[in-house]
Structure 1
Amino acid sequence: MKTIITLGDNCVDVYPALQKAFPGGNAVNVAVYATRYGMRPAYIGWVGSDDYGQLLRRELAVKGVDISHVHVRHGVTAQTFVTVNDNERVLGDYIEGVMADFDLDEGDIGWIQRFDLVHAGIWGRVEQYYPRLRRSGRILSFDFADKWDSPLWRTLPAELDYAFASADDDTPVVRDRLKNIVCAGARTAIATLGANGSLAFDGRQFYRHGILPVKVVDTMGAGDAFIAGFLCAVAQEGSIDAAMRQGTESAALTIQYPGAW
């Protein structure tokens, strides 16, 4: 089984109406969800010297994520303010906190070399390290979220094994985008489609999966859960079809409770 490390963004999802706060962020969520599949993932990021930073470190450790390279910096931990309308999460104000200056040091990069598969997202501030990680033989994954206009689409796919993004539905435009991502160098391009399932292209064929019918409580973390399920299947040498199926099951589990995890 291959090992997984995630890099970059974290935040605390603050739900004012519930008077609750939940640790989250793409890289953090993917690491936590990976523990569902017998993985011992690691996460590298910065948290603040505040209560939320302590919360995030503590909860990650409880979940079984290696936090030896989660660094505490003076300041506040990143925060996203969230409301839920008809079981759909709505993201409000965002405070980036100490993550605004996040960077990897040589100790972090050396630690990454111990892992087979590396994942980060568009808010992770680590894309500049991907060419170096590619040369070292890492399997690289990246989540562009819904930022189809990002300039990273012009440079990063050539460094990627798995490029994730989100869209609304399986349309000719989305299929053309996935084809273009693979033509730009990515091994496989995957689009999560919310209530419409997921779609992937590996240069040879498209793969399509629907959703599992469950009672939706909160959609926070659904896409990240899909990515974790997908990557953990890849880590176990699973096929793309098996990875999409496991990603779908992981997302279905996550949307049945409040918060990301």
Structure 2
Amino acid sequence: MRIATVGDNCMDVYHASGKAYPGGNPVNVAVYLNQLGADSAYIGWVGTDTYGNRMIQAIKDKGVDVTHLSQKVGKTAITLVELIDNDRKFGEYDEGVMANFSLTQEELDFIGTHQIVHAGIWGHVERYYPLFKERGIPTSFDFSDQLDHSLVKTLPPFVDYAFFSYTKDDVYIRQLLKDVKRGGSKMAVATLGENGSLAFDGEQFYQCSVVDTDVVDTMGAGDSFIAGFIYGRLQGLAINECLELGTETASKTIRYFGAW
């Protein structure tokens, strides 16, 4: 099973301790997929600073293919993070070299050798999604909690699996998932924090509760859920089983500090 993740990465720098952890949605998803048994590759840019070197080594150490992870002159992206009651609050975000991210023809051809490609809303990859679709590459995209972003309306025709982050199962999120499905996505999925997850396939809604566990740090929970869900789909699992696998994967992530 070969999966490519593309786009943003960042060092999550914790205000209080000054400690920094590698992360970013596509990076995290690649790492979690590898842990599940997939052959994952990450394509992105880091800077020529210390954080860039740390990022490359950390991802490589997790077994992810970094042959198409490039180092560009400048700074690696950083996000300032505060931990409040075991939940992370994001502060200032500096994109660094990722602000000018683009893909080469060789990288696009490399992505084409994978079974699915995943990216997120901060990764500057959305302009390539029509091309992925044209080439017949299945796609996944994390819209995060940006539910009113313009891409929610324009990108679904090119996204097979659309992921969102919300807080509860209500009329609003159900309508959003319906609209995204109607807009062209094969499936629309929302993680709802402590209220579990929800998926819509055009015919019915599927729900899954969270696993009762000790929460140390919620960093990476949504990304690990996405990895579990994608892995399940590629394994041919039913939608409710994919929700369960995503939930189970996320429950392991929140038991320790940092995304991975």
Q: Same fold (TM over 0.5)?
A: yes
Amino acid at match of 1:256: R
Q: Which amino acid aligns with 2:225?
A: F
Q: Which amino acid aligns with 2:189?
A: I
Amino acid at match of 2:9: N
* 5+ long unaligned stretches in structure 1: none
The answer as to 2:171 corresponding to 1:165 is no
2:123 match: secondary structure: coil
Structure 1 residue 101 and structure 2 residue 100: aligned? yes
CA offset digits 1:203-228 (Å, max 9, x no partner)? 01100001001110100111001000
Matched to 2:208, the amino acid is H
Q: Deviations over 1:124-182 (max 9, x none)?
A: 10111101111111110000001111111221101111000111100011111111110
RMSD between aligned alpha carbons?
0.7
**Do structure 1's residue 135 and structure 2's residue 134 form an aligned pair?**
yes
1:19: how far off? 2.8
> C-alpha distance in 2, partners of 1:61/1:144?
26
Aligned equivalent of 2:206: 207
TM-fit CA distance, 1:256: 0.6
Runs of at least 4 residues off by over 2 Å: none
Alignment of 1:94-243 (within 5 A): 94-243=93-242
Distance 1:5 1:110 in 2: 11
Q: Secondary structure at the match of 1:41?
A: strand
User: Is the aligned partner of 1:83 residue 2:88?
Assistant: no
In the alignment, the residues of structure 1 paired with residue 186 and residue 45 of structure 2 have an alpha-carbon distance, to the nearest angstrom, of 30
Residue identity matched to 1:103: S
Inter-partner Cα distance in structure 2 for 1:15 and 1:184? 38
1:16 shift after superposition: 2.9
Using structure 1 for the length normalisation, give the TM-score: 0.98
Unpaired runs of at least 5, structure 2:
none
Determine helix, strand or coil for the equivalent of 1:256.
coil
Q: Shift of residue 18 of structure 1?
A: 2.2
What are the superposed Cα offsets for residues 228-261 of structure 1, whole Å, 9 maximum, x if unpaired? Answer: 0100111211111111100000110000111111
What is aligned with 2:22? Answer: 23
TM-superposed CA distance for 1:36, in Å, is: 1.7
TM-score by length of 2: 0.99
Question: How far, CA to CA, are the matches of 2:38 and 2:135 in structure 1?
Answer: 22
CA contact (8 A) 1:3 1:235 kept: no
Write the mapping of 1:18-57 to structure 2, written as runs, cut at 5 A: 18-57=17-56
**Local SS of the residue matching 2:43:** strand
SS of the residue corresponding to residue 153 of structure 1 reads helix
Q: 2: distance between equivalents of 1:135 and 1:196?
A: 37
